[in-house]
Copies of this chain bind each other. A is one copy, B any other.
Amino acid sequence: MATTSKIPDQSVSESSIGKYLIRRLQDYGITDLFGIPGDYVLSFYSLLEESPIRVIGCTREDCAGYAADAYARVHGMGAVCVTYCVGGFSVANSIAGAFAEKSPVVMITGSPGLTERINNPLLHHKVRDFRTQMEVFEKLCVAGTELSEAAIAFREIDRVLATASRYKRPVYIDIPRDMVDVVPENPHMYQRENVVSDPQPLAEAVDEASELISRSRRPIVIAGVEMHRFALQDKLLELVEGAQIPFVTTILGKSVVRETHPLYVGLYEGAMGREEVTRFVEDSDCLILLGTFMTDLNLGIFTASLDTGKCIYATSETLRIHHHHYHDVLLGEFVGKLAARRLSPAQRDVPFVTGANSEEFQPQGDAPITTTRLISLLNQQLDENVVVIADIGDALFSATDLVMRGRAEFISPAYYTSMGFAVPAALGVHVADQDKRAVVIVGDGAFQMTGMELSTIVRHGYAPIVFVLDNQGYGTERILHTGKWKYNEIHPWNYYKLPDVLRGGMGYEVRTEQQLHDATQKALVDTTGFSLIHVHIPRDDRSVTLDRLAEKLSRRV
């Protein structure tokens, strides 16, 4: 179903491979790139520094990868550039996360020059053979290439970047260092892929879905993260508003459209979520799942009870209506054509459940802080210029109760659930959109993994607010697997003293609601640098969502 249009591009005919790659990255909207240099990639780094693309140097490669992932979520596509093997393998987990959660990150790596590889010498950074890194990333990326043949290098760059854009997954581009400045001799026609649906299955699927929705008594839309990845939010709104169909989202898709929308019912998480929402969804006679990943956490550890015989299930990879499948139908075209039909199913009242947690927050003086109360405070204080980034654990589970007032304001690795994503992701968000302010909610264990990336935030003068939830250990694990296990304890840091080390930012240590309230007020008005609020919470503190999750998950541990 892909068609390809060839566009003559005279200007690149005398470009080097390195310069051509930089040009195409810019075509895809990449204005900033994250990474750490190393000798195998220095010549490409120098090209980057002379180009319009800004290089954001990070403290660690995995942080650069997380930042690129968050940048991609906000900006459409991201890129990370590292050196061979020591850099590459250090970014493996970030790329794996981007694959799992469909974030289009271009991983660029330098490698030993082809002329250096003769007789297979033991060059530094090499692991097993010169193919090892490429072989690993073939498992973690949707496409990859080593630019070792000048004659096809431009075409390879086109192919790989188009694949990232089409599938919203990471791709791998390896430039041997002696290929960076090579100018291919053959002329190149820039090929832009234009993918369209097969018209007959598309028409038949839209007809069938329209008929089902029109006849339904209690339709519901379950909007997933792909509505955001494929920029389909407007089409989604056209559909639900046009037909007045209520909608829910999943954790991974939280805030794909604003959560104050009158048709928004809440977050659907099976038995893990609010009972009213679960009942409203599962009572439906026509479930329209759009761009939703059927993951364990998204489905409340598979406690979701969705009858396939009532589902219209459309993602970028599949389109299933009840028990039959349509192939070669694009998600965007399907949603667009459905919206254009102006359907009018039976109307349902939308129970107002989203605001349940948004009562006025009055600090209770010396009361110790709980995560749930922190979320209540934030619900009251945050405006639509804020992007909330929740790390893993109760930082995420409790934050599901935040009511997001804008689009794509909530970012979390809610499927891959890799700890340590949030602080570097805040860097990525600030770089991607200078008008937004990141608010990070992160546990102490996750903060110890990557929190020092605040260094790069100081360097560039960004001003996120970071709430570090200090319960002195891996709190979720304490609850998943009961018993006094020492392995869940971590060494406590004075997180609030980090500004002294990092030479920037402000630190606050808070133990009571009043202190939390006051520190948050100060942080909200201080945009000169980061604010780190070190929040002491009771060891056994937990949100209602975590409690419900633990009940489901602990049976499997």
Q: Are B139 and A128 in contact (CB under 8 A)?
A: yes
Contact of A123 among B49, B89, B296 (CB under 8 A): B296
> A295–B263 Cα gap in the complex (Å)?
65
Of A155-163, A212-220, A276-284, A489-497, the one touching chain B: A489-497
> A476–B45 Cα gap in the complex (Å)?
15
Q: Are A474 and B296 in contact (CB under 8 A)?
A: no
Q: Are B113 and A126 in contact (CB under 8 A)?
A: no
Q: Are B49 and A486 in contact (CB under 8 A)?
A: yes
Mask for A108-152, Cβ within 8 A of B = 1, else 0?
A: 000001001000011111111000100110011000000000000
| A59 interfacial by beta-carbon distance below 8 Å | yes
Contact of A491 among B122, B456, B480 (CB under 8 A): B456
Query: Which chain B positions have C-beta within 8 A of A485?
Result: 37, 45-46, 49
- Decide yes or no: A477 and B49 within 8 Å by CB, A92-B89, A136-B140, A503-B492 being known contacts: no
Which of A48, A116, A476, A485 has the largest number of chain B CB atoms within 10 A?
A485
- Decide yes or no: A86 and B39 within 8 Å by CB, A92-B93, A503-B493 being known contacts: no
Q: Are B46 and A481 in contact (CB under 8 A)?
A: yes
- Decide yes or no: A296 and B455 within 8 Å by CB, A89-B92, A128-B140 being known contacts: no
Q: Are B495 and A296 in contact (CB under 8 A)?
A: no
Q: Are A448 and B59 in contact (CB under 8 A)?
A: yes
Query: Which chain B positions have C-beta within 8 A of A488?
Result: 37
Query: Which chain B positions have C-beta within 8 A of A121?
Result: 294-296, 302
Query: Which chain B positions have C-beta within 8 A of A495?
Result: 501
Q: Are B503 and A42 in contact (CB under 8 A)?
A: no
- Decide yes or no: A124 and B417 within 8 Å by CB, A89-B92, A132-B139 being known contacts: yes
| A-B contacts besides A42-B480, A89-B140, 18 pairs, CB < 8 Å | A37-B474, A39-B477, A43-B481, A45-B485, A86-B93, A90-B92, A90-B93, A92-B93, A113-B556, A121-B295, A122-B296, A123-B296, A124-B415, A455-B493, A456-B491, A458-B491, A493-B502, A501-B501
28 pairs, A vs B, C-beta closer than 8 Å: A39-B480, A39-B553, A42-B477, A43-B557, A45-B485, A45-B487, A46-B483, A46-B485, A55-B487, A59-B490, A62-B90, A90-B92, A90-B418, A100-B126, A121-B295, A121-B302, A123-B296, A124-B296, A124-B297, A124-B417, A125-B418, A132-B139, A135-B139, A455-B491, A458-B491, A491-B502, A494-B503, A497-B501
**Residues of A near any B CB (own CB < 8 A):** 37-39, 42-43, 45-46, 48-49, 55, 57, 59-60, 62, 85-86, 89-90, 92-93, 96-97, 99-100, 113, 116, 121-128, 132, 135-136, 139-140, 177, 293-298, 302, 415-420, 448-450, 452, 455-456, 458-459, 474, 476-477, 480-481, 483, 485-495, 497-498, 500-503, 553, 556-557
